[in-house]
Structure 1
């Protein structure tokens, strides 16, 4: 079965238009400080132009206060909150209770990552496994060692939640990730050309995912 596809880091009307017209299951917006940061008014205007088109929308935050999260998504049709920093299990629980939306937790690949995941068991609806580079929390285009993917998938299966693999995934290497059978893939810089989401690169990514799925199904 073809994994779920999340296209993250949309930061313009162009990006939003391109990704909403794709076959992606999830569209992500980064509300944390980064080169792809957006604010509520922008997202509201872009969605008004394009419409949601049956996609699920993910709002990404890094170590943000609950009040700020609430303000940032007020009036937006957000489906999922992605906590992409080092939020504690207690903080995640409070966000879930107060905002009452499913939470995805980013896990940054490291030696004790599986034990970190276990702290959030029962509190989150999914995990994004990513690579942290310096003080950047994601969107760097850098991947972790994909040979560790099976361990993450096994823990996700044990907890009964999907695992999305992020970090450095592009159309020309997505096959290598798909070999491990992830529940989903999360792509940001790998579908950009000159800092904008590329319809051509997204089409290439989707085609390779479809082709891989067809070959495996035979």
Structure 2
């Protein structure tokens, strides 16, 4: 089985990222959408500049998280922050995802699909409609009050079916929502997504915790 990829999302602090420079991280997530983890383009640029000093293998790609942006907003951020991924976390249509790919051909486009607690796709689906317009799909727990970041899990027994559908359209499947160092090993061992995305699960009192980040990454890379 291929080693799962790991994304640490919602980074804001330079010192936290400096403490991660020797960890095997595949993606870091920078939130540009309204959120308590929202970051300015200026701070994001400062964080991304640290990636050139990554101490292990290939440095992670920076993923910018947006909710229902327009092309102008994306272009403005990309002119200041060299993102490797645009992660669309709202109700963006397949047609809009294609517009983004065309406008920014050197950047991956990921689409987050919200999934209810019982595993049902909410707005943004069905996954198959995004075939050819995105480079990855990310499942996150549906929250009617916000686009992601709920810190709650959904029915993981649905993951294998989603992964099969993702394989059919030729993209990897990431899972987010309620992941922690204590449960990510179970998710990977039992349900086999291609990657995992964590934010609140590696925080203590709302701040990123390097001990939890390290433990989470170790669990993923050992699974």
Task: Mark yes or no: TM-score above 0.5.
Answer: yes
CA RMSD of aligned residues (A): 1.8
TM-score (norm 2): 0.88
Equivalences for residues 144-155 of structure 1 within 5 A = 144-155=154-165
Asked if the contact 2:4–2:221 (Cα under 8 Å) also holds between the matched residues in 1, the reply is no
Equivalenced residue count is 212
Correspondence 1:8 to 2:9: yes
How much has 1:76 moved relative to structure 2?
A: 1.8
Displacement of 1:66 after TM fit? 0.6
SS of 2:130's equivalent?
Answer: coil
Verify: 1:194 aligned to 2:205, yes or no.
Answer: yes
After superposition, what is the alpha-carbon deviation per residue over 1:68-103, rounded to whole angstroms, capped at 9, x for unaligned? 111022132211110110001111111111122220
For 1:29 and 1:198, the matched residues in 2 are separated by: 16
Residue matched to 1:171: 181
Render the CA deviation track for 1:36-67: whole Å, top value 9, x for unaligned.
Answer: 00111111123345646211110110001110
Match of 2:98 in 1: 93
Measure the CA separation in 1 of the matches of 2:114 and 2:169: 18
Q: Which runs of 5+ in 1 are unaligned?
A: 213-218
- Looking at structure 2, the residues matched to 55 and 73 of structure 1 have their Cα atoms a distance apart, in angstroms, of 17
Alpha-carbon distance change, 35 to 21 in structure 1, aligned in 2, over 3 angstroms: farther
Aligned with 1:104: secondary structure?
strand
5 Å-filtered alignment, 1:32-43, equals 32-43=33-44
TM-score normalised by L of structure 1: 0.90
Question: Structure 1 8/115 Cα, relative in aligned 2: closer, same or farther at 3 Å?
Answer: closer
Q: Distance in 2 between matches of 1:156 and 1:109?
A: 15
C-alpha distance 200-99 of structure 1, shift in aligned 2 (>3 A): same
Moved runs in structure 1, 4+ residues, more than 6 A?
none
Correspondence for 1:119 among 102, 122, 129:
129
Structure 1 residue aligned with 2:191, among 168, 180, 185? Answer: 180
In proportion to residue count, which structure has more helix?
1
Equivalence map 1:14-163=2 (5 Å): 14-48=15-49, 51=52, 53=54, 54-100=59-105, 101-110=107-116, 111-112=120-121, 116-163=126-173
Larger CA deviation: 79-88 vs 134-143: 134-143
How far apart, in 2, do the equivalents of 1:99 and 1:49 lie?
23
**SS at 1:103 equivalent:** strand
Q: Is the 8 A contact 2:42 2:80 kept in 1?
A: no
Q: What SS class does the counterpart of residue 119 from structure 1 fall into?
A: helix
- Cα distance in 2 for residues equivalent to 1:89 and 1:96: 11
State the distance in 2 between where 1:196 and 1:87 align: 29
Cα deviation, 1:170-193, whole Å, max 9, x if unaligned, reads: 001112211211100011111111
Question: Which range moves more in the overlay, 159-168 or 102-111?
Answer: 102-111
